[in-house]
Structure 1
Amino acid sequence: MSFLTRMLRAPNPPYEPVEHRDWSSANITPELVTLFGGAPVLSGVPVSEQTVLGIPAVWRAVWLIAGSVASLPLQTVVESGDGTKQRTPSFLDDPGKVVGLTSYQWKSTVLAHLLIHGNAFLLHVYGGAGQLLGLQPVHPAAVSLEVKNGVKRYRIGMQDGTTREYTDDTLTHVWSQSLDGVRGLSPLQIACNTFGTAIAADRSAAKMFGQGALVTSIAQFEDDVEAEVAKELTEELQRKITGPESAGRVAYVNRNIKITPVSLTNEEAQWISARAFQIEEIARWFGIPPHLLAQTEKQTSWGTGVSAQNEGLARYNLEPWTTCIQERLSWLLPPNHAAEFLYAAFVEPDFETETNLLIAQAGGPFMTVNEVRKVRNLPPIEGGDVLPGAKPLQPNLIPETEETQND
């Protein structure tokens, strides 16, 4: 048994810890060091994986896409001679089980790596007979990549300080967009200025609430009043004019007091508007409808408009991500086999629409009554497996052959 097979061999159930499966980002390229520690941006704040995910709109956008795709079944289909596809079992039914990941966790991790870093690296896990049992996601910051003599070589930094090398035979590399066909473009680097501006705005908001003036008004006593008396009068005034129990009441204070409201300056109003614009920019980067990021001021948040946007989300956003994954995973399967994400549950119509469609199809030329009942999780009925529109082939319609002519 080779060293590589022994290192990546998955034990038989019950699963035991696999040897040498830990890595770190200690041995990575200089550009990845910049990426992991914070890319330089015009706003002057470091942009890293952690700081970017600290932006609410980015966190929601990433996990909206990752969670939506992870909720789709990943199945393996085989194409028959007549062009139809049938589902067949494979290791992709649960690709992360051998490394302790559920199917949802595995898919969401892969999507998160693609959405943030533009690359997903999947280490092959083999069985004792050399069969592929699963795929272990590796953090993109732990992987350096180079091409020698037309062959990709991946170097992964391990926790013990060593570096191990892999090729496409032992590691699967998935990316969405690339300019060189070698490594994917990192949204974290490409959009670093947008993210940096949002991070800077969050920090300025924290400083404003922590150190800025947040009072709503200033009370000025026109009479000479000692500091202690002024404090007591101010507290008394505040008790009389604040709180829900004071609504509609008339406040009386036996003093000459001038109340000056404190309002936002033009600069502060522009800052608030800029923060709203940043949400739209982040939605644009990730291709998310703004209403899914709780930005509903400029559009309807209900009805057919949002329904159409959700369909567009599946077609123009989720489908490109799933396509790049399923096409690459299909290379790991036998001929005529392909990986496929099942979108049926995600794009199915509402209950009323689907019910009307099923009623129209029941007993029609495409679906039997029992097939319709199965969709609604209902038991079959007697005689429900026959298509009324299907007619048996009549003997006089059978074309004559040389044998029938002789008979």
Structure 2
Amino acid sequence: MKLWKPGRLRAALQQWLGLPIGLTETGFWQEWFGTSSSGKSVSVDAAMRLSTVWACVRLLSESVSTLPLKLYRRLPDGSREAATDHPLYRVLCRSPNIEMTPQRFMLMLVASICLRGNAYIEKKSIGSRLVALVPLLPQCMSVKRLDNGRLHYLYSEASGQRPIPEKQLLHIRGFGLDGVCGMLPIATGRDIFGASMSAEEAAAKVFANGLQASGFLTVEGGTAQGAGTLTKEQRELLRKSLEEFSSSKNAGKTMVLEAGLKYQGITMNPEAAQMLETRAFNVEEICRWFRVPPFMVGHMTKQSSWAASVEAQNLHFLTNSLRPLLVNIEQEINRCLIDENEAEELFVEFAVEGLLRADSTGRASFYISGLTHGWINRNEVRRLENLPPIPGGELFTVQAAMISLESLERPAPEKSP
């Protein structure tokens, strides 16, 4: 094993699996991530091979990335309008950088929070004008608090390490306890993910073996050494013969028994062995870790799929899963990207109505409620549906059938002859 110098070891700690850092010692990574109680070495790459982790991270990141993020300006009358003339609007809503769309940018940001507990975005400016937002790999960032109370960020890349001033970073933290960085979900819950990895590996080995210990071979005759006893050479020949029937690709072949061999079958039910229950429980455990309803990742049970409609499911997902994440991102953007002299005028916000776009019935009910109660007009509805305005569509209307009780007591006007 190589002897690590302190400087080289410190630089290596800033790196992660998949980066060309020249570090191939498996033991180093096992020590860095830690080994779960099940004996599995848990890393982000290994956890992403679990279908539930993959589904949860994709669900959260893709759901947030499809919600429109807009920059608004508060108006004196208490309303708001899109601040399309502000330079920050182009960066946030049209092109964060030269390579990414807003959807890809937000997807990477949320995935980093889910898997690494932190998301780091470097601000690129020309003078005082913000021109781009570049996401950084959180596994390459080192953060510590200095004696003066400020945070020191050190980023490792192929060309070496470089410090990044705190004011040049947008640091969005996940759940944490020290206020400096978010906790790493994969490292904190290594036992949960390690147990699921062990269960998946055990299931794969069972199905990879077509014979799957479904019976025993007994010998009635035997050799001079004793009845029912095989020599070492005979066991080896028998073992090689069984290999032709013991894999899934050989399933269905007919085995020929000779020399007094008899096959006694046994039943090994994976469900009786609690394999299916264990795998189902692991799905719920991982969903609990990511705060995702199990039915949103295809785990449908009578306990988890309680919502009676698509709209109710979306509301449950928005309220309990997405809302804390959305508020965290909105407030960090307002804090780090909007100047102090504009903080009272400008703000960013996700348009969560995008979750109802796939539910035409829920969308129609929402619009009808606004039109009949007079808090939205027809052109505003058409604008939300990407339709052109119509003449007279700016008028606000209410349901004429709704009249006050006092009006019922008034005598009807007399008709003129």
Q: What SS does the aligned partner of 2:163 have?
A: strand
State the match for 2:150 in structure 1. Answer: 151
Deviation at 1:337, TM superposition (A): 1.6
2: distance between equivalents of 1:85 and 1:267? 58
The AA in structure 2 aligned to 1:167 is P
* Amino acid of the structure 1 residue aligned with 2:164: Y
* Structure 1 residues 35 and 342: CA distance shift in structure 2, 3 A: farther
- Relative distance call for 1:65 and 1:155 in structure 2 (3 A) is same
Partners of 2:397 and 2:142 in 1: CA distance? 63
TM-score, L = length of structure 1: 0.71
Partners of 1:27 and 1:142 within 8 A in 2:
no
Secondary structure of the residue aligned to 1:27 is helix
1:115 and 2:114 aligned: yes
The answer to which of 210-219 and 195-204 deviates more is 210-219
Deviation at 1:320, TM superposition (A): 0.9
Deviations along 1:64-103, one digit per CA (max 9) or x if unpaired, are: 00000011111111222333222113221135333x1121
- After superposition, where does 1:332-371 map in structure 2 within 5 Å? 332-334=337-339, 335=342, 336-347=345-356, 350-359=359-368, 361-362=370-371, 365-371=374-380
Separation of aligned partners in 2, 1:363 and 1:152: 53
Does 2:389 align with 1:385? no
Alpha carbons of structure 1 residues 212 and 133: separation in structure 2 relative to 1, 3 Å? same
AA paired with 1:151?
R
1:41 counterpart (27, 33, 36) = 36
Whole-Å separation in 2 of the counterparts to 1:259 and 1:35: 44
Tell me how far apart the structure 2 counterparts of residues 119 and 288 of structure 1 sit (CA, whole Å).
Answer: 19
3-state DSSP of counterpart to 2:353: coil
1:270 to 270, 274, 298: 274
Q: Which residue of 2 aligns with 1:286?
A: 290
Change over 3 Å in CA distance of 1:200–1:181 after alignment to 2 = same
Contact kept? 1:79, 1:86, Cα under 8 Å: yes
SS of residue paired to 1:269: coil
Deviation at 1:368, TM superposition (A): 3.7
Deviation at residue 371 of structure 1 after TM alignment? 4.1
**2:180 counterpart SS class:** coil
Flag the 1:95–1:275 CA change in 2: closer, same or farther, 3 A: same
How far the C-alpha of 1:302 sits from its partner, in A, is: 8.2
The one-letter amino acid paired with 2:395 is V
For 1:194 and 1:117, locate their aligned partners in 2 and report how far apart those are by CA, in whole Å. 16
Give the Cα separation in 2 of the matches to 1:122 and 1:36: 29
Structure 2 residue ranges without an equivalent (≥5) = 1-8, 17-27, 221-240, 246-251, 253-261, 400-417
**Aligned match of 1:253:** none
Query: CA RMSD of the aligned region, Å?
Result: 4.0
Q: For 1:85, give the aligned amino acid.
A: R
Distance 1:35 1:308, change over 3 A: farther
Q: Decide whether aligned partners of structure 1 residues 82 and 28 sit closer, same or farther in structure 2, where only a CA change above 3 A counts.
A: farther
**Counterpart pick for 2:57 among 37, 59, 62:** 62
Query: Normalising by the residue count of structure 2, what TM-score does the alignment of the two structures yield?
Result: 0.70
CA distance in 1, matches of 2:382, 2:281: 49
1:298 is matched with which residue? 302
Partner SS for 2:166? coil
Match for residue 136 of structure 1 among 125, 134, 137:
134
Letter in 1 for 2:38: S
CA contact (8 A) 1:28 1:144 kept: no
Is the contact between residue 68 and residue 354 of structure 2 (CA under 8 Å) also seen in structure 1?
no
Report deviation, 1:214: 3.6
> Deviation at 1:309?
3.3
Q: Structure 2 matches for 1:3-402, cutoff 5 A?
A: 27-29=11-13, 38-89=33-84, 90=89, 91-94=91-94, 96-98=96-98, 100-127=99-126, 129-148=127-146, 149-160=148-159, 162-211=160-209, 213-214=211-212, 262-265=266-269, 269-299=273-303, 301=305, 304=308, 307-331=311-335, 332-334=337-339, 335=342, 336-347=345-356, 350-359=359-368, 361-362=370-371, 365-375=374-384, 380-387=389-396
Amino acid at match of 2:338: L
Residue 299 of structure 2 aligns to which amino acid in structure 1?
A: Q
- Partner AA of 1:206 in structure 2: A
Is there any run of 5+ residues in structure 1 with no aligned partner, and where?
A: 1-24, 223-230, 236-241, 243-257, 391-407
Once the two structures are superposed, what CA deviation does each residue of 1:31-68 show, in whole Å capped at 9, x if it has no partner? 98758963222111111111000000000001100000
Give the equivalent residue in structure 2 for 1:7.
Answer: none
Verify the 8 A CA contact 1:363 1:369 in the aligned structure 2. Answer: no
Q: Deviations over 1:189-236 (max 9, x none)?
A: 11111001111122222322334634878999x9xxxxxxxx9xxx9x
Deviations 1:314-336 (A, max 9, x none): 11111111211111111211322
- % identical equivalent positions: 27
Cα separation, 1, equivalents of 2:68 and 2:167: 26
Count of matched residue pairs: 341
TM superposition shift of 1:353: 4.3
CA gap of 1:339–1:213, structure 2 versus 1, over 3 A, is: same
SS of the residue corresponding to residue 11 of structure 2 reads: coil
SS in structure 1 opposite 2:155?
A: strand
Cα shift at 1:272: 2.3
The residue number in structure 2 matching 1:245 is: none
